[in-house]
Amino acid sequence: MIDLAQLRREPEVVKAALARRGVTSATLDAVIELDVQHRQLLQEAEGLRAQVKDLSRQVGEARRQKDDAAASALAETSRTLGDQEREASAALDELAATLREQLLFVPNLPAPEAPDGADEHDNVELRRWWVGMDEGAAQPTYEAHQRVAHWDIGTDLGILDLETGAKLAGSMFPLYRGFGARLIRALGFFALDRHLPEYEEIRPPSFALTETMMSTGHLPKSADDMYEIGRDGLWAIPTAEVPLTSMHRGEILAEDQLPIRMTAQTACFRREAGAAGRDTRGLLRLHEFDKVELFAYCTPEQALEAHADILRRAEGLLQALGLTYRVLDLCTGDLGTSAARTFDLEVFSPGVDRWLEVSSVSWFRDFQARRANVRYRTSDGSTALVHTVNGSALAWARIWAALVETYRQVDGSVELPAVLAPYLGGQTRIPTRSS
């Protein structure tokens, strides 16, 4: 969440920053008013508590002096003030909960460098990459045999069975078969190996407590897009970012430990509640998919390099796979709730003639760390909140789609990039069923 102390100290600065994200001054004025009321009530409750403590001392003194009448009168006053203090404390707790709830819905301040804009249409394309561009090659065009949608390719090759997936779990839950399943597995191993040893590999749980989901900002704002297991108080994770962000929740780290870098491959679960009216065919939009995540805790001074490192790694994977992609700088209107700056990577998928988002690389400043209470001890002995950065490297369902479309051959087979050979037993050709 945002820094309440900064909002008190620099209300106009915070308002101006969040206005870029469409947050009104009225919203922040309501938070400021709640904060004023909370501090006033806190002062009142603490004053009453001090009076009760002093009266208790006076009662004891009167009893030592054998002045029972004075002790009785003081005790009665103490009881009355004690009742008032309990009422004030109860009101304080209620007001604190209201203030926290309001803060949980306030997004992060965008980085000054983030472009202004209302929505995804205002994102800024920074660059594109394709095989041979460094040697002057033009951006590739695609032949008719590559202009076939991955769901048709997958069905023809017997490697994607959406019908059975839907029979088992409903629509938008894919089922990969044979070489298709091997390819998903190979992509994860390929990426994880490239991130070691700089990033420690983690295998986190696939479910998270509400507190864990709150730390990243997925709750409460995106509750409708999450899968909840109500009776157990758990949520299916939408990304490994969720457990990784809380790995050191409530801890104080040593500054010389930072940055702490971690990577994890997990299944990711999303309701896609806002998918109505969007193209959900094939692997374009799913309720479950595999993804490798990169994450780092760092100091503010380390944050930009940590952010850039994750972006480089994600781009490096796409280049190794030979996929055409572009980098987008997300505008303020398209940033996620917790992000201060985000770069998206989109691959071109010729069979569906679309750019598909396969990675989102974000810097959160101390927004998530404030929720998770992750701090570090500085060289002068004080403590400060860490910064967090994370990014996908990569989300595999759409990479799978782009690969089988891009590398489809005239005879209908698929010839995958050679870098995947060690993870596919040396076999990179997905043959047709008639081969």
d(CA 323, CA 358): 11
Domain 4-104 belongs to what topology?
A: Helix Hairpins (1.10.287)
H or E stretch covering 428: none
Nearest-10 Cα torsion for 92, 98, 102, 105: 130
pLDDT in tens, 173-225: 999 999 999 999 999 999 999 999 999 999 999 999 999 999 999 999 999 99
pLDDT at residue 434, as a whole number: 81
Report which of 286, 18, 61, 253 is spatially closest to residue 160, judged by C-alpha positions. 286
Q: What is the pTM of this model?
A: 0.93
Q: What is the pLDDT of residues 49-106, one digit of tens each?
A: 999 999 989 989 999 998 989 889 998 999 999 899 999 999 999 999 999 999 999 9
Percentage of residues in the chain having pLDDT higher than 70: 99
Q: Break the chain into its structural domains and give their ranges.
A: 4-104, 120-430
Query: How high is the pLDDT of residue 273?
Result: 78
Q: Please give the CATH number for the structural domain made up of 120-430.
A: 3.30.930.10
Q: How far is CA 407 from CA 146, 167, 280, 319, in A?
A: 7, 29, 23, 14
The pLDDT score that the predictor gives to residue 278 is: 74
Contacts (Cβ under 8 Å, ≥6 apart) of 116: 20, 122, 331, 332, 333
4-104 and 120-430 have identical folds: no
